[in-house]
Every structure is written in C-alpha cells, then in structure tokens.
Amino acid sequence: MNLLKTLLLVIYLISSAVSADESMCSGTTSNQKLENGIELPSSGGNFVAHSHIARLAERTYVHYQVNSIFVNAYKFLKKEQPAKVQVVTL
C-alpha cells in the first residue's frame, strides 16, 4: 500500500508539471474545456474500470500526458505487484 501511495504522489507531481503541447485544458472547475484529449483505457493488464457509464457519457478524456502517466503508472504496478488487479474509478 505504501508503494501505491508513493506512486500516486509521483503521478500527481508529474502531472502538475506537464505542459499542454498537443492537448489544451482551459476554464474553471465548473466550466472546463479540453481540446485534443485522449480517452483513458477502460482496462489493461492489471486494471479495469469500475463503471462504463463515464465512458458512455464521454467523461474519460484527459490531456495526452495525463493518459501517458496513467498507463505508465499501471505498467509499473504490474511489475511491482503482478498478482493484483486494480479497479479504477474513471
């Protein structure tokens, strides 16, 4: 569990520092806009989405670098904890 907390902290710090080269995020928390976003995967080798409703509502699009961080984080967890499957709330 400590590894997961550390990994999430690293993801947060990296995602705070990324620049929007290809995707563009703008607006406020109540009025957001994302241009050229990428849809998060609904599953991978060690994770599955909790619900597909967000995907159907097209609420799973993120900045392209956030998508990369998400996928790479779960690849790392797959190596560190190969028997575990995480349920992700998207």
Residue 35 has pLDDT above 60, yes or no: yes
* Per-chain mean pLDDT for the chain: 84
Cα separation, 41 vs 1, whole angstroms? 23
Expressed as residue numbers, the domain containing 84 is 2-27+34-88
Mean pLDDT of 69-80: 92
Name the one residue in this structure whose structure tokens are 């806009």.
33
Cα separation, 41 vs 67, whole angstroms? 8
User: Over the stretch 7-25, which tens digit does the pLDDT of each residue have?
Assistant: 776 776 666 555 445 888 8
For β-strands 24-28 and 86-88, DSSP reports them as unpaired
Report which of residues 10 and 45 the model is more confident about: 45
Report which of residues 89 and 80 the model is more confident about: 80
**Prediction pTM value:** 0.66
C-beta separation of 36 from 25 below 8 A: no
C-beta separation of 65 from 27 below 8 A: no
Instruction: Look at residue 5 in the predicted model and tell me its pLDDT.
Output: 74
User: How many structural domains compose the chain?
Assistant: 1
